[in-house]
Every structure is written in C-alpha cells, then in structure tokens.
Structure 1
C-alpha cells in the first residue's frame, strides 16, 4: 500500500484490510444467496418472504460497498469478484434450490449465524486497531441481527423454540424446518 488512513501503521492497515476483504467477500456472497432464495422460495407465505428478502439484499449490497470503500481508504484494492469470494470463502456454497419457504428460512438461519459470528470476530480484530472500522462493523452487525430475527420469527414456536434447532448443516436445517 502506498498510503493508508492517517494514524494507522502499514501493519495495522494490512490487518484491517485483510479482515475487511474477508467480510466484503462474505457480504457479496450473502447478497447473492439472499437473491437466490428470493427467486427459489415457494409455497405458503411465499409473497411475504419473497418481499421480506429484497430489502435485505439491498442493505447487504450497501454494506459491501461501504467495506470496499473503507478498503480503498486504507490504500488497498478491494476485490469484489467471484474469484475473491471463492478465495476468501471459509463456508460452503448455499445448498438449496427451489424449496419451501420454511426450508429456505431454516437454512438461511444458519447462514446468518455464520455471517454474524464472523462480523463479531471482525469487530474484535479491528476494535483495538481502528475504531472507525469497528464502528462500521458494529452498525452492520446490528442490522444483520435484526434481519436474522425476521428469519427466526418464521421458525419460532409460541414457546420460543426454533423448528431447526440443533441443525448443523443447511440441508439438516431445511429438513427440520419443513
């Protein structure tokens, strides 16, 4: 990097950029996954879930843009390609195609768990180095958690139990939620 944000060392900026690039790839993957779900949900409550997902897609795309611009602010080049998503991926590709609303929401619950946990890890990594980046990630995490709540509201019983509780894979979560 030829430059970085004032007050950050090159090593600190490199750590922040690496963390942000991982988050950028995860958010790019998430907005593609959300759009895939939007196109592939069927059955009862289709229209409500179909329309619930579009605002999530738009907000997540905006989050990706914010992180890409922060990377550029640090003097690095944000990578927004499909190859970058693949290179940075520590998760499996979304595994459901055309399926019921409940199946997709059961699987999406696990997707959000992974994204939110990783965002929280990034908050931890950047917090001591760059409070500006930490603040961006905190704000994004709050909204991601709200969307996660929207998803879980469809999976929750009146007693507070999730229909996909205990599932460790998207396929298992989908099966339990059906």
Structure 2
C-alpha cells in the first residue's frame, strides 16, 4: 500500500506533535523546581520516552507506506500545534498544567486526523488508538499531582 498525500499529511501532523512533545517534556524535565520535584522529574522522563517511541513508530509506519517523515527542527517548529514551552525555571505546579495541556493537545491532533487515517489505513489508526490511550493515561497521572481529593470528577453517562 502507498499512502495518499492526505494520509501522509495526517501522519506527519501526528509525528510533528510527538516530536515537539518529547522536546518540551525534556525542557520541563531540566527546568522544573519546587514541591514534588523528583516525582515530576521522573514522570516527565516517562512522557518523553512514550512520545519518542510513538514518534518512531509513526515515522516507521510512514516509511512502510512509502511516505517521507520530516523530523527536521525547522519543520517541527513551523508545524507543531503545541504552544511553546516557557523559557527558564518553571515551578512544578505550573509544569504539571503546561505538560497536561501539551499531552491533551497532542491527543487532540490524533483525534482530529483519526477518521481520515482509519478510512484509508486501519492499521495506522490502530497505532493512533494505542498512542491516545497511553498519552491520556499519562495526562491523568501527571495532572493528579496537583489535584485535590475534593476535585470535581466527571461522572460517566448513564445508559
């Protein structure tokens, strides 16, 4: 199978945000300070590792489909949907918020392209399912660092 321009573009969008997520995760990892530093420092490594693996899986899937992944820094900076991570030291509470936002934005990119990807290549959509599940889990885990026990939790819809 050979990817259409649409499929290649959709997978490139996912790749771009995954590469940016790993870069921002490391930026946070190196520059966080404050309460629960060590826990968050280690969690950020988990996020970076997942983003790195998912980026590699995406790029290799693209090549399997005869598409050309573009991981050059200029491409990533120009095309990412993630907001730039702040410069300098970041306290852990703010870092949790920033990283959670970036995890959720990366997942949103995957959800935005999912249906078109699935229509052309269900195998690539299966990868997106795996990535979404893990990134949402990581977002929940890192966000729990600053939640309180009385925080509002959305109840599942009754059927």
Assess same fold via TM > 0.5: yes
Distance (whole Å) between structure 1 residues aligned to residue 63 and residue 13 of structure 2: 14
**Distance verdict in 2 for CA 1:57–1:91, change over 3 Å:** closer
Q: CA deviation at 1:96?
A: 4.7
**Structure 1 partner of 2:99:** 108
Distance (whole Å) between structure 1 residues aligned to residue 139 and residue 87 of structure 2: 18
Q: CA deviation at 1:91?
A: 3.7
Unaligned runs of 5+ in 1: 163-178
Q: State the superposition RMSD in angstroms.
A: 1.6
**Structure 1 partner of 2:48:** 57
Contact 1:20 1:67 in 2 (8 A): yes
Question: What is the number of equivalent residue pairs in this alignment?
Answer: 153
**Structure 2 partner of 1:171:** none
User: Which secondary structure state, in structure 2, belongs to the residue aligned with residue 78 of structure 1?
Assistant: coil
1:69 aligned to which of 41, 54, 60: 60
Q: After the TM superposition, which segments of 4 or more aligned residues of structure 1 sit over 3 Å from their partners?
A: none
Unaligned runs of 5+ in 2: 154-159
Q: CA deviation at 1:62?
A: 0.7
Distance (whole Å) between structure 2 residues aligned to residue 131 and residue 69 of structure 1: 16
Q: TM-score, normalised by structure 1?
A: 0.80
Q: CA deviation at 1:105?
A: 0.6
Residues 48-57 or 25-34, more deviating: 48-57
Alignment of 1:152-167 (within 5 A): 152-161=143-152
- Structure of higher RCO (CA pairs closer than 8 Å, 6+ residues apart): 2
Alignment of 1:135-154 (within 5 A): 135-154=126-145
Distance (whole Å) between structure 1 residues aligned to residue 81 and residue 33 of structure 2: 29
Distance (whole Å) between structure 2 residues aligned to residue 96 and residue 107 of structure 1: 12
Distance (whole Å) between structure 2 residues aligned to residue 17 and residue 115 of structure 1: 17
Alignment of 1:109-128 (within 5 A): 109-128=100-119
Distance (whole Å) between structure 1 residues aligned to residue 82 and residue 39 of structure 2: 28
Larger of the two Rg values belongs to structure: 1
Q: CA deviation at 1:67?
A: 0.5
Distance (whole Å) between structure 2 residues aligned to residue 130 and residue 96 of structure 1: 39
CA deviations over 1:57-102 (Å, ceiling 9, x no partner):
1121010001101111111211111011023223431125312110
**Structure 2 partner of 1:79:** 70
